[in-house]
Every structure is written in C-alpha cells, then in structure tokens.
Amino acid sequence: MKLSLICAKCMQEDITTIEFRTVEFKNDGRYEITCQNGHSSITFLQQQKFEILFDIGACAIIDGYYREAVSSFTSALERFYEFFIKVVCIQRILIG
Ligand SMILES: [Zn+2]
C-alpha cells in the first residue's frame, strides 16, 4: 500500500514543479521524504487509520486491483471497529 506525498517546503516556496513522492503506508503515520530540490521534510498524517485504508481501497478499485481493494476495505472496517471501541471506552471512563 503506497501513498503520494508532496514536499511541504516546495508548497511554501510556491515552486511550480512540485513532485509527488510515493511512500509505503506506515502505522505510525510519520513519513520522511526528500524532494528533487533537496528539501527534506517530515509529514504526519492526521487521518485515522480506517480513513487511510478506505482511501487505499478506493484507489485499488480505480486501478483494477479488486482483491487488494477487498483486503483494504476489510482492514478499514476492522480499524473502524477498534476506533469505535476506544472512543466508547474513553467516554465511559470520562463520563461514567
Ligand atoms: Zn521540496
């Protein structure tokens, strides 16, 4: 599973030839990239894991990889259940 990222420094400097870097999906959400202009930047994704996995599944369908899409959607659903259970547990601890 791969993600496309853009160099944040190129975006700030409004460089016209912005290049997408492809990185492998990581659980911690931290991605370090070096662009063609020599900038090194770190990107933290703020989306929940289930959101990213769902997007990856949608992209897999667009690309024609249906088996990977099913796998990604299944993982997204599992991560969503995990997220829901954590939210409910935290709510019960805080509110009672
Ligand atoms: Zn750059």
CA 28 to ligand 1 center in whole angstroms: 23
pLDDT score at 86: 96
- pLDDT tens digits, 33-84: 998 888 898 989 888 999 989 998 999 999 999 999 999 999 999 999 999 9
SS3 content of the chain, % helix, strand, coil (to 5): 50, 20, 25
**Cα–Cα distance measured from residue 51 to residue 3, given in angstroms and rounded to the nearest whole number:** 13
- Would you call 61 helix, strand, or coil by DSSP? helix
Task: For residue 11, name the pLDDT band (cuts at 50, 70, 90).
Answer: confident
CA 45 to ligand 1 center in whole angstroms: 18
Indicate the domain borders of the chain. Answer: 1-46, 47-96
Closest by alpha carbon to 58, among 72, 47, 74, 75? Answer: 72
pLDDT score at 7: 87
Closest by alpha carbon to 25, among 35, 50, 40, 9? Answer: 50
